[in-house]
Structure 1
Amino acid sequence: MKQKIKHRGIGIGIIIILLSVSTIACANPTIINASVSPEKVVPGDVMTVTAEIKDEHGIKSVQADMGGIETIILELVEGDIYNGTWQNNWIVHDTEPIWYNTTITAENIPGGKASVNVEWEDPSYSIGYMLPVYDGYWMDWTIGGTSPAPTRWESVDDPLGSPDNGTTVVDTYLAYPVNNSFFFETLYFGEDVVINSVTVHAWARKDGGSPTLYVFYRYNDTDYVNATSYGLDPNDYEDHTWVYINNPATGSPWNASELRANMEWGVTVLGTSAAVGVLVTQMYLEVNYSGAGFRPEGDFTTSPAVLNYTDNQSIIFAGNCTETTGVYNATNTFIYLETNGTKKYPGLWEDVPTGGDEYVTSNTSGYYIGNLSSGTTSSNYYFNITGHKVGEHWFRVRCEADNAVDNYSQPVNLTVRNPLSRAGEQSWQRLLYNTSG
């Protein structure tokens, strides 16, 4: 009897153990939040894929299927494998003007999986914006407003969506045709970009009389005035727009090189016979384009890069590592981004900080690549660099492995500058610099 009872006890114990193992194997990760940014992209743009994931057993891997075009591996950038944020960047390619789903799949150490879809699109067009950057040829209007700016162009360069409604303006009370013009930011388009239209926006109101407001494009010392004019409201600043399908100077569609130059546009009041007041508080250009935009020309593995920290700009460096002997495998390979321009150790090479009171920071200082087979090159790993203080810095990637000597890429120069005073304003330029080690 004792032996029989003991046998039953072992049997129950085995059943309990098996149930416990089965429960572990079936537990799935919890994807708390998942996103892609931006959600509207065209080929050549950089999309950031992010997922916040929890799992009591630990996450083994996270991957993202980019609409069936390509699958990328997300890396742990914050927290740990039990509760952390996973992220990577994807250079958009081979998309069409349709909606896509990115499927993010997380797998834990026991093998449980969880997936979530994030929707995004490649629209048939994209929008870019250009703000004034300095005064043009015509400066007949005066600086005004309740808190006047130091220059005419700074009187109308308010952040998009936030015209200051009279705090800073340019105005005129003259009774005859009078002009004021501004040079605008450049947009870095490749030659394959199609410019669908350029729209001029002017937020304005009147102060007496019955004035009409016009805009003009100035090119090669000639002013091309648009025939469309607007009457103005006496109380509220309103957005008035002029759409240009063609370049008024040539009569032909816009091309990329014309937007890579500082275009000059202005406002004018025509045909008035009595003193009137016209006030303009904001002016900007809206560019509708198709194709890959916002990409500088040139090879930036050797050319200097420029970053305006007051425009909330960031620069993405793409780096990779290669096993160069062609014979051995590189084991436990890591890739790091280094700079010689931190506040703590100026002039000395060190990993880019991820926070603190530094001149430049990165979303991460390094990634674990794993083992590299002989003669192979890893995929690109991305570092998002943000500048916080004016300065000139150098960046390079460092490749490490257990059985290899550290190797460094060619350094790339980055200048962080503060040419304008528009803190908090949206950045119009996404810059990509490739380097490898």
Structure 2
Amino acid sequence: MGRRLCTPSPVPTSSSAQSGTESRVPTPSPTMLAPISQSVIDSMSQSYDASVQQSLKKLHHHSFVITDPHLHGHPIIYASDAFLHMSGYLAEEVLGRNPKFLQGLDTDRQSVCQIRDSVREGKPCHVVLLNYTKQGWPFQIVLHMAPVFSQNDGRLLHFVGVQTPLFNCPTGLEKQPVQSAPTLLGLLKGPYAFLGQKGLLNTENAGCLGYLPYSNGHLQAGSCTGSQKKKKLKVALTVLQLVIHELTKSSELKSAEVLRSRYLSENAETALCSSLTLALTRIQQSFVISNPNLRGMPVVYASDMFLRLTGYQKEEVIGRNCRFLEGQDTDARVVQQLRDCIKAEKACTVQVLNYRKDGSPFWNLLHVAPVRDHTAKIAYFVGVQWELGSDCCQTSDIAPVMQQLGAVGAIKVAVRSLRGQGLCRNKKAC
């Protein structure tokens, strides 16, 4: 994927540039390139945690770009190594530019309009598109594009575009002269559903044609078999989901970082009373306490056993929603079950796949329960974790569920013995 085409000589897109048809814009030389603006450089860091760059690097062998619709010209702010290799450009020649610089004379205008409409409406799309390398080679791709939304407030952050090259289709090749894109391209049509919370793209009607350079100034075009076509599109959609998953997860980390900063800087009303904290340290269980009365329902206390189980430091946990333990294979139905129980102010026990800080998964027998204060109002929610298949949390012969219920009971007693929902209302009082 993404092999660079250097020989034979590039096929001319057309000799009719003088006829008024749009011709391919020449790529400026490195000395002509304008410096990348600070807004392009800062675009990723403003929306995502610092770890996002490392996460995206793991997908470097897939061709994709990330664009920012909020910046002038909707420029590329991130380009994968495979994209640069496939297109022949350097990173400094790509960042800060709209992806349309890859288009040329035979790029289908209908596909371009479809992309523009999707961007304007904030919706995903998939089209067959004819692009050109830096050296002038035409190469055909299926472009899968989808928006990335903030999980915190639902606003549009960026667009991700995954390019799947089709020139390596091995069957049915035959020489054909260069023709306009509408003649050769089987444009993808058909309905789509939204990605993620917005659903999945529908590729049932996708076509697959491939361009290959040919030494006598012609292009080769061929069609893939149905199984090859579906495999390519499935891979592309998987890559799209992986990129969006990494961005979404990193966006949550960024939001948690901001929330944690706010939380730590708030006044004494948002801090646990020292008397309550002291009582909680005596409970030898893996658990966290979250405050549903604060925005985002952040963790306000994490036990030492929880920190050992997950590998996080306390400052990496306090102020964050417990969603940071979720990962790619966490069952969304279980997560929804937890949300429903919290909304209904009920206790529940589930088995959920969580992830440690180092990325290793573990099955968590999780018991979540509301904790009421002395006025019977809900002050906190407690989540008690038990790693299934491991004795790392085993402290006695008592069954895990009984130990979890015992921890919840001890926490309830500690909270109800204090005034003001267990919060430090007055620094002097603590």
User: Larger relative CO (CA 8 A, sep 6+): 1 or 2?
Assistant: 1
Larger Rg: 1
Higher helix proportion (structure 1 or 2): 2
Is the shorter-chain TM-score for this pair beyond 0.5, marking a shared fold? Answer: no
Higher strand proportion (structure 1 or 2): 1
Q: TM-score, normalised by structure 2?
A: 0.24
